[in-house]
Amino acid sequence: MITSTSLRALIVNWLPAIVVTVLLIVMWEVLVDVLDVQRWLLPAPSVIIAEMFDSFGFLMGNTRITMFEILVGFSVSIMLAVSLASGIVWSRTIERTIYPLIIASQTIPIITLAPLLIIWVGTDMMSKVIVIVLFTFFPIVISLVSGLRSVDKEMVDMLRTLGASPWQTFTKLMIPSALPSFFAGLKVASVVSVIGAVIGEWFGSSSGLGWLMKIAGGQFQTARVFAAIVVLSILAMALFAAVVAVEKWSLRKYPPTANRVIRLGES
């Protein structure tokens, strides 16, 4: 339950960002009007907002499709990344076999694979899910492997002395200790997943916000393109906020000082 105190604290924390955003929007509106920029080139924020209201149903229909693709792709990416990271940490053979391939996969521009995926698996949701997974699994794997390996060796030795099995050490010590790193990777992947969905829809789709942007751009409906961008930004922020909320709930048993943000400009 949100109390009045927490609400005031939330407003105070986000007030600088709100003020800066409002100032940028006002400057954008004024400059477009003063410089007499054509709508098809750069629409004013008021025009974009009007387009969002006029095309609300159309936007929401495509938003549901994109959001479903993101949720499915992100979920698959998490399961794949957790399995790979656990295998890498658990077995040196798996590490030597899989880890180099994971790193090498990131040297290939994923955007160049999107057209090939359309040829291989078609234009249905599967191709978009694969693109999202390719975009998101790497930061999750790397952060989780780093977190699992950062466990205090003395704690591991102590559990072994007490007779804990490797599985008990892994589940009772290594996984809880790796949660902060794991969620750090999830935060990055949550935002990148939106990019993956748009790229997948851009190359082969008949619906979704990426498809909408492609069609609207070709018809010089710039306001609609910006409206889709606004919705995508909201989706990315909502997904990021959801990850943060799950992180706070998962780490609620940690000491408060362990999760306190340290700023060099503050004492």
Contact assessment for residue 156 and residue 142, using Cβ atoms and an 8 Å cutoff? no
Considering 22-36, 61-75, 90-104, 141-155, the range whose residues carry the highest mean pLDDT is: 61-75
| pLDDT exceeds cutoff 90 at 122 | no
Domain ranges of the chain: 59-256
- The CA distance from 147 to 217, in Å, is 43
Greater pLDDT, 131 or 4: 131
The C-alpha atoms of residue 30 and residue 24 are separated, in whole angstroms, by 10
How would you label 39-49 residue by residue, b for 16+ Cβ within 10 Å and e otherwise? Answer: eeeebbbebbb
Mean pLDDT of the chain: 84
Nearest to 211, CA basis, from 197, 191, 190: 197
Residue 193 has what pLDDT?
A: 93
Which CATH number does 59-256 carry?
Answer: 1.10.3720.10
Both structure tokens of 74:
């992100």
The stretch 100-117 carries a mean pLDDT of 80
pLDDT at 265 over 70: no
Confidence class for position 155, pLDDT limits 50, 70, 90: confident
| Mean pLDDT, residues 26-41 taken together | 87
Q: Where are the alpha helices (DSSP H) in the chain?
A: 4-34, 45-54, 56-90, 92-105, 110-121, 125-149, 153-161, 166-169, 175-203, 209-218, 222-250
Instruction: Please give the C-alpha separations between residue 83 and each of 78, 87, 90, 104, in angstroms, as whole numbers.
Output: 9, 6, 10, 18
Structure confidence by residue, pLDDT tens digits, 186-233: 999 999 999 999 988 888 777 889 889 989 888 888 999 999 999 999
